[in-house]
Amino acid sequence: MQTFVSRWADSQLIGTRTRSVWQWQLIFTFSTVAIAVVIAILDELLLTHGAFLAGIILIVAASTASLVTPWARYPKWAALVLPLLDIIGVGLLAIAESNLGYLWVFPIAWIATYYGTRELIIGLVITGVMNLIDSWPRGYSSAVVLELLIVVLALAFLGITIIVGARRTRAFRHLTRRQADRLDRTLHRVQAAEQRVNAVFDSISVALARVSSGGEIVAANTAYRALYSLDPRDLRFSIGGAVE
């Protein structure tokens, strides 16, 4: 009988990276769509705005791509495309409704958590460009420029804070893993040394036994057990005579 193995059971397809991509993208998509739908219900004209619809379609398309793409087969930077597309999608939503610009927090946090400063700068640049596109009909007055700087600097501060925290977490995890490996090696060495001592102790032809402070035999070699016909599975009993 032929056995069929699901491709989704392959650990190379569903790994830590793939689960992380799904988690971030789906949480962002559900949050964005839910908020956008609520705002659209309050203002039905948004449903006819081209930028609003384009932003929703782009975010949903990115989420669909995240589910069907085997991320474990691609380098880590390949998944960076998703938060960058999300930034563009939020920018399109912000063109229709400026309050939706707060959703930039999600993709920026995603980039800062799993990538570095360079990728964060790329995300901030795209965010700034989308802000410039949004502000173009109003003109680039001092108030608009100040608003743009506040948005970019706030997101940059958030991203840098997350990057520092993520680096500390990774360093702590690495240190913990090294300490666990060191303890494991030490335990193996102790067990190996104990086995060697027990082997030497058991190979001596003279009857020997180890006795606790309470007068109980805790270990005895083969010669001792044979001499007194002791059961090796239970050696803890009070001694009744001399111990050789």
Tell me the per-residue pLDDT of 15-49, one tens digit each, with 9 for 90 and over. Answer: 577 788 888 888 888 888 888 778 778 877 777 78
* Predicted local confidence at residue 35, as pLDDT: 83
Alpha helices in 69-141 (DSSP H): 81-96, 105-114, 117-135
CA–CA gap between residue 153 and residue 108 (Å, rounded)? 12
CA–CA gap between residue 172 and residue 184 (Å, rounded)? 18
Q: What is the CA radius of gyration of the chain?
A: 33
Q: Who wins on pLDDT, 228 or 28?
A: 28
Least confident of 88-102, 103-117, 128-142: 128-142
pLDDT more than 90, % of the chain: 16
Amino acid identity of residue 204, one-letter, is I
CA–CA gap between residue 48 and residue 58 (Å, rounded)? 16
Closest CA to 125 of 144, 151, 103, 143: 151
| Spatial contact of 130 and 91, defined as CB atoms under 8 Å apart | yes
| Burial class of residue 140 in the structure, from the number of CB atoms within 10 Å of its CB (0-12 exposed, 13-18 middle, 19+ buried) | exposed
* Predicted local confidence at residue 125, as pLDDT: 93
User: Whole-model pTM?
Assistant: 0.65
- With bands split at pLDDT 50, 70 and 90, how would you rate the model's confidence at 8? very low
| Spatial contact of 208 and 222, defined as CB atoms under 8 Å apart | no
CA–CA gap between residue 113 and residue 119 (Å, rounded)? 11
Flag whether pLDDT at 167 surpasses 90: no
SS3 49: coil
* Predicted local confidence at residue 6, as pLDDT: 37
- With bands split at pLDDT 50, 70 and 90, how would you rate the model's confidence at 123? very high
Please name the residues in contact with 20: beta carbons below 8 A apart, sequence gap of 6 or more: 114
Flag whether pLDDT at 131 surpasses 90: no
CA–CA gap between residue 105 and residue 102 (Å, rounded)? 6
Q: What is the sign of the dihedral through the CA atoms of 202, 205, 209 and 210?
A: negative
* Predicted local confidence at residue 107, as pLDDT: 92
* Predicted local confidence at residue 87, as pLDDT: 93
* Predicted local confidence at residue 14, as pLDDT: 42
Distances (CA, A) of 37 to 53, 62, 100: 11, 18, 11
Closest CA to 25 of 58, 67, 76: 67
Tell me the per-residue pLDDT of 231-242, one tens digit each, with 9 for 90 and over. Answer: 766 555 544 444
| Spatial contact of 223 and 204, defined as CB atoms under 8 Å apart | yes
Tell me the per-residue pLDDT of 173-220, one tens digit each, with 9 for 90 and over. Answer: 888 888 988 998 999 999 888 888 888 888 888 888 888 787 777 778
Tell me the per-residue pLDDT of 50-60, one tens digit each, with 9 for 90 and over. Answer: 888 899 899 99
Mean pLDDT of the chain: 81
Enter the tokens of residue 101: 């610009």
Residue with tokens 């056995």: 3
* Predicted local confidence at residue 15, as pLDDT: 53
* Predicted local confidence at residue 239, as pLDDT: 46
The pair phi, psi for residue 209, each rounded to 5°, is: -150, 150
